[in-house]
Amino acid sequence: MATHSGLPPSAVLAAACFLLILGVASATSVHYCDKHANYAVKVNGVDISPNPVVSGRTAKFGISAVTESPVEGGKLVIDVKYFGFHVHQETRDLCEETSCPVAVGDFVIAHEQVLPFYTPPGSYTLTLKLLSANGSQLTCVSFDFSVSFGLEVADE
């Protein structure tokens, strides 16, 4: 018997289990660049969707953070390494990635990136520095993520 999607129930169940595992696997460990620094902005975690990232598709990075002082604006410096080799760097306006001014308390930096279809699969490390409007470093974290090549993902 086929479901309304045209797939047998066992295939739907397998896909649902895969998505559940994928959702659990999306928790990403974050490491501060300097473990002894007292950063003004603390990062609570990073959500990556999809995880692993798929080349040629939009990847969404949600960085959950908290600040004890308002942040009027600033820059995000994003540096990416592939198996330890620098492959990409860009600078973004903080106010394009979250609402400014950032009020005291919790906030989310929402970054989207479309990786070129030729992006090689494997392990990547992203380092994110948040700089204030005057250039002082508010936080610096790094986290690992993976890129898959050629996975079939349903259009959103």
Domain spans of the chain, in order of start: 28-148
| Percent helix, percent strand, percent coil in the chain, to nearest 5 | 15, 50, 35
pLDDT digits (tens, 9 = 90+) for 103-134: 999 999 999 999 888 889 999 999 999 999 99
Q: What fold does the segment set 28-148 form as a domain?
A: Immunoglobulin-like (2.60.40)
CB 61 within 8 A of CB 115: no
Residue 2 clears pLDDT 60, i.e. is over it: no
Residue 79 clears pLDDT 50, i.e. is over it: yes
* Beta strands 105-114 and 85-93, pairing class: unpaired
pLDDT digits (tens, 9 = 90+) for 28-63: 899 999 999 999 999 999 999 999 999 999 999 999
* Greater model confidence, 79 or 14: 79
Taking the C-alpha atoms of residue 40 and residue 3, their distance in angstroms, rounded to an integer, is 52
**pLDDT at residue 27, rounded to an integer:** 60
Taking the C-alpha atoms of residue 149 and residue 156, their distance in angstroms, rounded to an integer, is 18
Residue 77: count of CB within 10 angstroms of its CB:
16
Taking the C-alpha atoms of residue 93 and residue 26, their distance in angstroms, rounded to an integer, is 26
Tell whether omega for the bond before 9 is within 30 degrees of 0, i.e. cis.
no
Q: What percent of the chain has pLDDT over 70?
A: 78
For the record, the structure tokens of 13 come out as: 């169940």
Residue 13 clears pLDDT 50, i.e. is over it: no
Taking the C-alpha atoms of residue 43 and residue 63, their distance in angstroms, rounded to an integer, is 7
For the record, the structure tokens of 108 come out as: 């989310």
